[in-house]
Chains A and B, each alone.
Chain A
Amino acid sequence: MKKNFGLGEIQRMILGAIKNPDQPHAELSSVICEKPPITSQQRLRIYQEAYKNRMLESLRDDFPRVEKILGSDEFDKNAAMYLESHPSRYASLAEASQHFPQWMKESSDELYEAASVDWIEILASHQVEVDRQNVLGPQEIGMGIPFVIIKNATLFSFIGKTDIFVSYRSWGEIRSRQMRPEEFHFFQMISGRMEVEELAKLVESLRMDEGQLQNLFSNWVRDEVIYCKRRDEC
């Protein structure tokens, strides 16, 4: 007998069936039309498969380091459990991934770290790079040209148990590297945009070795962790 379900009832039943494809959903026999060329079960299956594939694929794309550690099957099992405990309440698939690192923490520090580095790469990929006009090359630094220091604003960091990871954008590419704690500490002390005199004061207060500092600085400029721009044309 045809039963007239309301829109809300239908949606809750369909949502439940899509999320739980392994359970029987006899109630849907009076919801979905039975009409060739395929059965109502097959019709529902199309949505169930699409949901599972879409969500798993999105998590796999976002967390390649975790998949590499776990292997595909184990990753999918974990991802399915994550989706069960953290169903998406977001407009975009990217947002739906955001709790995955924290969730992985319950499994192991190694997985948490891998997921967190994957995640800061995603955040870095969404940011705007500095306008490169008047950016000084590493060889031009220290040639008496007054400059200001601009931190790469696309940089995101993750402080792991033993290591510190940073990810940032440079020429549209995502770069990730580890930083030693003292290097990271120094980086954090630099404000978003700093005059070279302020930097000199900071260096003095930190009592850093000048040679070591120069080395660090030119590496950062080369790798675009920071930019130096001509002060007069800035």
Chain B
Amino acid sequence: MAKQIEVAGLDAYYGAHKAIEDITMTIEPRTVTAFIGPSGCGKSTFLRTLNRMHEVVPGARVEGKVRLEDQDLYGPDVDPVSVRRTIGMVFQRPNPFPTMSIYDNVAAGLRLNGRFSRSELDGIVESSLKGANLWNEVKDRLNKPGSGLSGGQQQRLCIARAIAVRPQVLLMDEPCSALDPISTLAIEDLISSLKQDYTIVIVTHNMQQAARVSDKTAFFNLAGQGQPGKLIEMDDTSRIFTNPGQKATEDYITGRFG
């Protein structure tokens, strides 16, 4: 189920502004890869190029290659909608659909994409909520609006919604930045358990979090104001945090800048 992602020579633009430049990396299946780097260096932008969400922004475009196993995601006849179905995403701010109940939120991706019988849906909703560690908290109020949950619960609801469509890769953009330490721990535990089945990429500003949950870490940086962001280095997390190859990485991790 989990698949490898290979990126080669990738540039991303917002109109004329080049946000990231020449990124080449391999993201391994069944591992957690963390993206770290100072604000504005293009972590979110890069993450969004991986499931073709980047081009949703008016005027935005991508150059270079992204391959999921043997498929070119930016090939001429690839449907971006099917790419997004294969590579799920969780956003920084929890964004449950306000008009839908908890149940409908989790079922949304399935319902909006095809026909499922009620019992199939029930099964998937339950297993997804269990997968997101939320089932016990909401099983008695599945028909209540999703916006009535706490922030941490909403974020786990969004994770449940993302895994309900059975993606092969899960991209998470600072999924814990709006959450308290307990919800953060719940989500970190969740990430560790989801690792068995998914390829996971997580953007985080929290060094301890990167060190705790990830197997690989990629450090991004900007050469200067207005310059595009670049991948400085990528390695095993333990190595990045103990013995990084680049001076800039060490400075960033030890808090000397950024």
Q: Do A and B come from one complex?
A: no
Q: B residues engaging A (CB < 8 A)?
A: none
